[in-house]
Amino acid sequence: MRPWPADAERSGAQTTGHGHPGTGGLSDGTGRADAGWPAAGTEPDDDRGAGARDGVPPAGTEQVNGNEPTVTERWALAADLGRAYARVSGDRNPIHLHPLTARPFGFRRPIAHGMWTAARALAALDEVLPEAFTVNVRFRAPAQLPSHPTFHAAPTHDGGHAFRLTAATGRPLLTGEITPPPPP
């Protein structure tokens, strides 16, 4: 991962479209992220189900933005990832910490923080990121902890990248695009 320049302006993130349909969780959010850091887990896989569900193809069979993926990674999200992220970020939202604290909000298990997930996607593309870029992220469904989602990315016609994170069931968790700035 590239070091953050000491004189660089650090910016936060904003999200819109948070809803609580049925489960009390976040859904259909759209976010813009400028910076983050990756982490990796080593917890055993505890994904529920396999194969297509609700008409969604299994992970690894879909194209990204109409292109074949050029980056494919299977991530290991540890059961304690939410607690580790809370220590770094200060965000101690109970839905990220433990199954007992996530249940009152409609989750059987804790979920990965959306900003961690977006930052991890950028870290996976670090080698191909332009010097300056815009990233648009759509949070489609929570990434439960522990789990092993699959990340796919493919170049776009404008020199950017489209990416997607899918659960073992094939359900999209996160989609996004990286767009370089227009030429001067």
Q: Token pair of 171, please?
A: 């359900």
Nearest in space to 170 (alpha carbons), one of 10, 70, 47, 35: 47
pLDDT at 7 over 60: no
CATH of 72-184, one of 3.30.1330.40, 3.10.129.10, 3.40.50.970, 3.90.226.30: 3.10.129.10
Instruction: Tell me how far apart the alpha carbons of residues 16 and 26 are, in angstroms, rounded to a whole number.
Output: 10
pLDDT 10s digits, 50-86: 333 333 333 444 555 566 668 899 999 999 999 999 9
Q: Token pair of 178, please?
A: 């990286």
Q: What percent of the chain has pLDDT over 70?
A: 62
Could you tell me where the beta strands, DSSP code E, fall in 48-116? 71-74
Instruction: Tell me how far apart the alpha carbons of residues 68 and 66 are, in angstroms, rounded to a whole number.
Output: 7
At residue 89 the predicted structure's pLDDT band, cuts being 50, 70 and 90, is very high
pLDDT at 20 over 60: no
Instruction: Tell me how far apart the alpha carbons of residues 175 and 27 are, in angstroms, rounded to a whole number.
Output: 13
At residue 18 the predicted structure's pLDDT band, cuts being 50, 70 and 90, is very low
Q: Which residues of 27-36 are buried (b: 16+ CB within 10 A; e: fewer)?
A: eeeebbbbbb
pLDDT 10s digits, 148-170: 999 999 999 888 999 999 999 99
At residue 33 the predicted structure's pLDDT band, cuts being 50, 70 and 90, is very low
What is the average per-residue pLDDT within 18-30?
31
What is the average per-residue pLDDT within 21-40?
32
Choice between 144 and 32, residue whose per-residue pLDDT is larger: 144
At residue 128 the predicted structure's pLDDT band, cuts being 50, 70 and 90, is confident
- Report the sign of the C-alpha dihedral through residues 110, 42, 75, 34, in that order: positive
Q: Is 179 within 8 Å of 132 (Cβ atoms)?
A: no
Q: Residue 164 burial (CB < 10 Å; 0-12/13-18/19+)?
A: buried
What is the average per-residue pLDDT within 42-56?
35
Q: Is 62 within 8 Å of 149 (Cβ atoms)?
A: no
Would you state the pLDDT for residue 69?
Answer: 65
What is the average per-residue pLDDT within 164-180?
96
pTM of the model: 0.66
Question: What residue spans define the domains of the chain?
Answer: 72-184
